[in-house]
């Protein structure tokens, strides 16, 4: 997690330079879901650690918590949602791609965020944290999942 000095903290509600507050919320949620996948840490442990991080001052706490808890509470169902669109067992995915797919599946299933925004945000997360071409895989899987979960929106193109 990125550390910043206190003079770099943004006032509540202000957009940090570069990345939006929601993007930073997704990044922190990604780190927490990664921690869950690797160590089995609980949502409480993950949130406690995140709140101690300077980066937490640059996120939307409600959005972050909704993502983290939503993914962890609906973990198995979210994996079942995207399972038909992957070419291997979920345990064979890199933990980063797996966490990003979980976030994307959660957002497609439970938010009103436009599906193209969900996919773009997932791709950007993968470009930042994932392997060299992992973003292409994430894009393809979430695009197919969008057709299943948001057919009405996808068909409006």
CA distance 121 to 14: 20
Q: What is the pLDDT of residues 45-63, one digit of tens each?
A: 999 998 888 888 889 999 9
Give me the residues of the chain with pLDDT under 70, please.
1-18, 157
| Residue at 72 is within a domain | yes
pLDDT at position 14, please?
A: 41
Amino acid 27: pLDDT:
95
The pLDDT value recorded for residue 2 is 38
Distances from the Cα of 5 to the Cα of 8, 53, 55, 114, 154, angstroms: 5, 11, 10, 34, 43
pLDDT for residue 9:
39
Q: What is the extent of the structural domain holding 108?
A: 18-146
* DSSP designation for 87: S
Q: Is residue 157 part of a domain?
A: no
> What tokens appear for 44 in the block?
């409480």
pLDDT at 12: 42
Domain count, the chain: 1
Q: Residue 157 has what pLDDT?
A: 63
Say how far apart CA 114 and CA 15 lie, in whole Å. 20
């Amino acid at each position: 997690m990125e550390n910043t000095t206190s003079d770099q903290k943004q006032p509540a509600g202000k957009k940090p330079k570069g990345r939006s507050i929601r993007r930073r919320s997704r990044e922190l949620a990604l780190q927490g879901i990664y921690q869950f996948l690797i160590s089995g840490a609980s949502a409480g442990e993950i949130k406690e650690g995140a709140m101690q991080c300077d980066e937490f001052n640059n996120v939307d706490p409600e959005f972050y918590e909704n993502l983290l808890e939503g993914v962890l509470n609906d973990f198995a169902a979210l994996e079942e949602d995207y399972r038909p669109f992957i070419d291997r067992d979920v345990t064979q995915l890199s933990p980063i791609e797996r966490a990003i797919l979980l976030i994307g599946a959660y957002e497609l299933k439970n938010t009103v965020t436009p599906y193209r925004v969900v996919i773009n945000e997932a791709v950007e997360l993968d470009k930042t944290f994932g392997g060299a071409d992992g973003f292409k895989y994430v894009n393809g899987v979430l695009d197919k999942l969008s057709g299943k979960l948001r057919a009405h929106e996808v068909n409006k193109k």
